Structure 1
Amino acid sequence: MLAVAVLAAGKGTRMRSDLPKVLQPLAGATLVERVLRCCDSLQPDRRLLIVGHQAERVEASLAAHHGLEFVLQQPQNGTGHAVQQLLEPLQGFKGELLVLNGDVPLLRPETLRQLLDTHRRGGTAVTLLTARLEDPSGYGRVFADEEGRVSAIVEHRDCNAAQRDNPLVNAGIYCFDWSRLAAVLPLLRSDNDQGELYLTDTVALLGSALHLEVEDSAETNGINDRLQLAQCEQVLQERLRRHWMAEGVTFIDPASCTLSDATHFGRDVVVEPQTHLRGACRIGDGCRLGPGSLLENATLGNGVEVLLSVVREASVADGCAIGPYAQLRPGAELAAGCRVGNFVEIKQSKLGAGCKVNHLSYIGDAELGENVNVGAGTITANYDGVRKHRTVIGAGSKTGANSVLVAPIRLGERVTVGAGSTLTRDVPTGALALGRARQLVRENWSGPQTGTTPAAPAS
């Protein structure tokens, strides 16, 4: 049997944040979510999260993770003290305990699988993950022989000068034989520089330990401050871009673009510079995104173009063109072949196939049939100051420039709205609708008479 425990009790003082460190976002997911996802493929029998600082907030953020057990560490007195809190919930458990850190989010599932396999083959009480760093400052040093048998782990601040020259460091990731670990956990002592109970001290107490050196040391990067958070973001973004380029996506300037790991691309997608995808975006084959576009929880069909625009929680079918400078807000749904042009905003509205909204328009809480042509400056006035109301425009209708449709209102099919009209009543199919003041012209107009000579125009 396998149990996984994630240490997530720390405050993260150096983050300078009201948000618990493990809830800091990284490429669209929190640090602790990334750690939990990493071990999903191992199919553990038990999953435990050791919480402390803002425990209720951390638990609430993970409410969707069914079967996760929360264990309170109060006060927080080191990693050894954290794992001591498992003695009661894991009483009688037989098997391995994998200990992960909630602020080490770049581990790959295959690395954890290799750690678990190494531990099972080695038959030792504990197997720990290590990394070799050019600058090991701040990390505990691991001392081992050529066969990987560990003799000691010494925390950085407890190292002497010679020990600090050792580049092999403890990544803080362990696989224990739980029964043997449970027997020595009560023996931990706090006679060290920090006055805390170190989980690393169990290695000496257990007497037999192996280490597995990770090939890519970036996997073990921990996060203690904003700089390290940014560094991890860079690593993760590079991984994501490399993955999708291998799957047939073109990035014109990869370093200028960011993705979430919930983004999925089809083939032959082109991503122009300064384009960013957040949340669960689904991008179809042959799309062209950017430059300068933002997509968040967006679904795009095949052959969609998004130029210098924002698409948030919207659905766009095949062959549509968005932008430049358009915004699709949550609830926008475009059928195939629609065109949404410059300075157009669409919100909570459905556009039928072939609709065109090319210029300077706001379409909110509306439903447009097929092949509706929305003239420049058309507004659906959907808000009466208290409630939102819907506008329905039938297929084949067209609105003239600077039209205002005051909802609730329904236009039939093949309706023509004259330019400059403000409509407040329904219009039947096939009608022409005009709703504007009569034009007044006074010939030979000399302007207001003030009794003074008009000032000469400025040159």
Structure 2
Amino acid sequence: MVAVAILAAGRGTRMKSELPKVLHSLGGRSLIERILQTALEIEPIRQIVIVGYQGKQVEAALQHIPNVEFVEQTQQLGTGHAVQQLLPHLEGFQGDLLVLNGDVPLLRPQTLKVLMESHKKHQNAVSLLTAHLPNPKGYGRVFCNDRNIIQQIVEDRDCSAAQKQNHRINAGIYCFNWPQLAKVLPQLQANNDQKEYYLTDACNLMQPVMAVDVEDYQEILGINDRKQLATAYDILQGRVKERWMAAGVTLIDPNSITIDDTVQLSTDIIIEPQTHLRGNTAIGSGSRIGPGSLIENSQIGENVTVVYSVITDSTVQAETKIGPYSHLRGNVNAGKNCRIGNFVELKNTTLGDRTNVAHLSYLGDATLGERVNIGAGTITANYDGVKKHQTKIGDRTKTGSNSVLVAPVKLGSDVTVAAGSTVTEDVPDDSLVIARSPQVVKPGWRLKTSED
């Protein structure tokens, strides 16, 4: 059995932010959420997050994740000091403790499984994830014998010039035999330039300690500033795009496209340049998205076309065409074979199948039936200054250009609204409604000028 502890107490001063470092977003999820998600793959019996700087904010941000425990490190005196805080919480625990860093979000679950398997196979007191970096500056160096048994771990700031030539680094990911670790934690001393308690010193007090090299060193890259956050995002995007292209998705100009790893795609989708897919979005087979589109937390059906448009928190069913320059937001549900065209905004609105809103319209808090046709410039006046009100439109109803439907109002089925009408009362089925002032023409009239 294994327990997981995630070190998340630091402020992250180099981020230049009031937000705790571990809560910064990477591809739609915070750094700490990514670590927790990865740790779940090894099925730990306990998940403990060690918090410090703005710990309550970190706790609040993780409330949606079940079975997470929090331990406070009131003073940030190093990694060893952080793990010392677990002593009363893991009293009597006889399993292994996996220690992860909250700012190392690119770890793959398979890497942790390899680390755990090696730990059990060799019955190690400590198994340490290591990597060979092209540029190891800033990382502690790991020195091993020919069997990968660790003989010494030296922090970068404490390394001699000769020791800095070693490119095998400490990734800061440990698997400890907890009963053995619990015995040595009280022995740690802060005999270093930083006056901190290093977890690596605990490794020096335990035997055997084995290094397990990660195949892809990019997995263990930490995030300390905005530049490293951007680098991590590039790496994550590379993984995501490679996976989807291998699964049958066409990405035209992948460098201009971003896709969160929470997004689900089907085969034979074409993603055009300058398109961004975020959050809990799913797109059906045969759809063509972009160019220049943003889709966030939305469900898109099969064979949908979206061009130069923004869709958030909405559902679009099969065969519907959207754009250019449409905006769907706040719980829009567009039915099958709809047309939502140029400069149309929909908010909290439902469209029945084969309904068209072709251009220059705003529909808010509205429910439309099937085969409705909304003329250019039609709007629902849904807000009275205090409350939002509903508009309901029946099947096969048509509105003329520049119509205003003042909510709350209900139009029945097979209604025709004359162009330029302002409709303020309900309209029964099979009706023509004309709600506009009579046209007045005054022959021979013209505007007087100063000469006159």
TM-score tier by shorter-chain length is over 0.9
Alignment of 1:287-366 (within 5 A): 287-366=287-366
1-structure distance, mates of 2:367, 2:232:
44
Structure 1 residue matching 2:258: 3-state secondary structure: coil
1-structure distance, mates of 2:95, 2:423:
73
Alignment of 1:48-127 (within 5 A): 48-127=48-127
How far residue 337 of structure 1 moved from its aligned partner, in angstroms, is 0.5
How far residue 449 of structure 1 moved from its aligned partner, in angstroms, is 4.8
2-structure distance, mates of 1:262, 1:220:
21
Structure 1 residue matching 2:259: 3-state secondary structure: coil
Q: State which drifts further: 38-47 or 306-315.
A: 38-47
2-structure distance, mates of 1:205, 1:323:
65
Structure 2 residue matching 1:142: 3-state secondary structure: strand
Structure 2 residue matching 1:184: 3-state secondary structure: helix
How far residue 229 of structure 1 moved from its aligned partner, in angstroms, is 0.3
Matching residue of 1:199: 199
1-structure distance, mates of 2:94, 2:51:
23
| Gap regions ≥5 residues in structure 2 | none
TM-score by length of 2: 0.99
How far residue 193 of structure 1 moved from its aligned partner, in angstroms, is 1.2
Query: Is it true that 1:209 corresponds to 2:209 in the alignment?
Result: yes
Query: Is it true that 1:28 corresponds to 2:20 in the alignment?
Result: no
Deviations 1:85-104 (A, max 9, x none): 01110000001110000000
**What one-letter code is carried by the residue in structure 1 that aligns with 2:82?**
A
TM-score by length of 1: 0.98
How far residue 300 of structure 1 moved from its aligned partner, in angstroms, is 0.6
| Gap regions ≥5 residues in structure 1 | 454-459
2-structure distance, mates of 1:275, 1:86:
45
2-structure distance, mates of 1:367, 1:57:
40
1-structure distance, mates of 2:297, 2:44:
30
Matching residue of 2:141: 141
Q: CA RMSD in A?
A: 0.8
Deviations 1:255-283 (A, max 9, x none): 11111111001110000001001110010
Matching residue of 1:457: none
In the TM superposition, structure 1's runs of 4+ consecutive aligned residues that sit over 4 Å from their partners are none
Q: Is the 8 A contact 2:126 2:207 kept in 1?
A: no
Deviations 1:315-367 (A, max 9, x none): 00000001000000111001101100010000011100000000100000001
**What one-letter code is carried by the residue in structure 2 that aligns with 1:232?**
A
2-structure distance, mates of 1:188, 1:437:
87
1-structure distance, mates of 2:165, 2:314:
55
How far residue 379 of structure 1 moved from its aligned partner, in angstroms, is 0.5
Structure 2 residue matching 1:405: 3-state secondary structure: strand
Matching residue of 1:165: 165
How far residue 445 of structure 1 moved from its aligned partner, in angstroms, is 2.8
Matching residue of 1:40: 40
2-structure distance, mates of 1:278, 1:46:
30
**What one-letter code is carried by the residue in structure 2 that aligns with 1:189?**
Q
Structure 1 residue matching 2:171: 3-state secondary structure: strand
